[in-house]
Amino acid sequence: MKTSRAAVLTQYEAPLELKEFPLPQAIEPGAALVKVKLAGICGTDVHLWHGQLPIPLPVILGHETVGVIEEMGDGLTHDWTGAPLSVGDRIGWSSSINCNECYYCRTKPQPTRCLKRKAYGISYDCSVAPHLLGGYADYIYLRPGTAIFKIPEELPTEAVVGAGCALVTSLHGAERISVQMGDTVVIQGSGPVGLASLAVAKASGAATIVMLGGPPHRLELAKRFGADVCIDISTTSIEERKTRVLDLSGGFGVDVVLECVGIPEAVVEGVELCRDGGRYLVLGHYGNAGSVAFNPHVITRKQLTVAGSWGFEPRHTNAALKFLARNREQFPFEQLVAKQFPLERAFEALQATASWTTAKSAIAP
């Protein structure tokens, strides 16, 4: 009987444990067994490790994964776009599966808010068969209904993992608050979501993009991705940043501010950077980081539009792969994967992402 190793989170804030699980003996119709090539370590994984979101334990983390098809169940013949699929194909997939039946799948369509949504690397107890439902492993099992995408040959695995769930999140966010050609833009945060939002804003024709972030190596990446102005938040005050942004925008503030930080204070700072009639996207608050003193008067007085965006749908994964293929040279997302670790050093990889010493780490089993 064949087995697969996996790095398992059995207890919050404890080291990941390397365990062995049996490979499924039969692949269900529509399912697939996939050999993991590279599993990205997302900032969310760090939050999960700290126990900041309600998940089952034990769990195999890893929701940003690229692999190669090892075996396919009956009826699985094409990827989500209709392209033919074969054993040996290199693929990515949407990390969540929707129920397609609930209030948010049907009546008021907000598919990312599906009431029964389950995500690889997050929602599955790995003590229950088929066990292998996270990316930090030799193999991952894709359940029927997974939106699978064949990765174009010219696109490096590192670019797909580097873009990870950040790019799809940004593409979804851009549907809620879009950057229009000619807009002036502030991006709060130079982590993966901030860099991806920068790429999306740049590709949408933003006239000027100001990145508020850090540390310096991330700001250099922001420059490389096309930021016009980068401001290091560790060496500037809120007031200094406001002065800089107003100076750059005729004293009025910018058209669009994209929040990609996840810190409540950023929202208070950010709405002040919008011009009257401006738009503000709360994109970074996937986690619940608590409250902040906020004055709603600013929304009325400045006539702001503020929107939130949660997760993403398969069509965003499709769009992200096309985006990466189309803009490879302009936005080298592979540079976000600073270091790769073997599976047995998965915990070290997680710690690297946690410590912010690197842009992002990944596991190459």
Residues within window 267-286 making contact with a copy of itself, judged by CB under 8 A: 267, 275-277, 282-286
**205 is a site residue for a copy of itself (CB under 8 A):** yes
Question: 312 vs 205, 255, 261, 316, 341, CA distance in Å?
Answer: 23, 24, 18, 6, 27
Among residues 22, 75, 103, 216, the one that binds a copy of itself under rule CB under 8 A: 103
Query: Which 303-332 residues touch a copy of itself, going by CB under 8 A?
Result: 303-310, 314-315, 318-319, 322-323, 326
CB nearer to a copy of itself: pick between 9 and 267: 267
42 binds a copy of itself (CB under 8 A): no
What the block records as the tokens of 254 is: 């910018």
Phi–psi pair at 107, nearest 5 degrees: -70, -50
Peptide bond into 216 cis (omega under 30): no
* Only segment of 12-20, 85-93, 153-161, 200-208 that touches a copy of itself (CB under 8 A): 200-208
User: Does residue 45 touch a copy of itself according to CB under 8 A?
Assistant: no
**In the complex, minimum distance from the CB of residue 355 to a copy of itself, in angstroms, rounded to a whole number:** 24
* 247 touches a copy of itself (CB under 8 A): no
Looking at the Cβ atoms of 108 and 329, the one nearer to a copy of itself is 108
Q: Per rule CB under 8 A, is residue 74 in the interface with a copy of itself?
A: no
SS3 338: coil
Q: Is residue 252 within the footprint of a copy of itself (CB under 8 A)?
A: yes
Residues 6+ apart with CB under 8 A from 361: 41, 337, 338, 339, 340, 341, 349, 350, 352, 353
Contact call for residue 355 and a copy of itself (CB under 8 A):
no
Give min distance, CB of 1 to a copy of itself, in A: 33
* Residue number with CB closer to a copy of itself (117 or 241): 117
Report the alpha-carbon distance of residue 304 to residue 339 in Å, rounded.
41
User: Following DSSP, what letter does each residue of 59-96 receive, concatenated?
Assistant: EE---EEEEEEEEE-TT--B-TTS-B--TT-EEEE-SE
In the complex, minimum distance from the CB of residue 185 to a copy of itself, in angstroms, rounded to a whole number: 13
Quick one: three-class SS letters along 210-251? EEEECCHHHHHHHHHCCCCEEEECCCCCHHHHHHHHHHHCCC
Number of residues that bind a copy of itself (CB under 8 A): 71
Among 16, 122, 200, 346, binds a copy of itself (CB under 8 A): 200
Site for a copy of itself in 223-242 (CB under 8 A): none
Nearer to a copy of itself, 126 or 171 (CB): 171
Strand ranges, E, within 146-213: 148-150, 184-188, 208-213
Q: What Å distances lie between residue 341 and 120, 335, 344, 349, 353, CA to CA?
A: 20, 16, 8, 6, 12
- The reply to whether 255 sits near a copy of itself by the rule CB under 8 A is yes
Residues 180-199 that bind a copy of itself (CB under 8 A): 180-182
Minimal CA–CA distance to 312: which of 191, 142, 167? 167
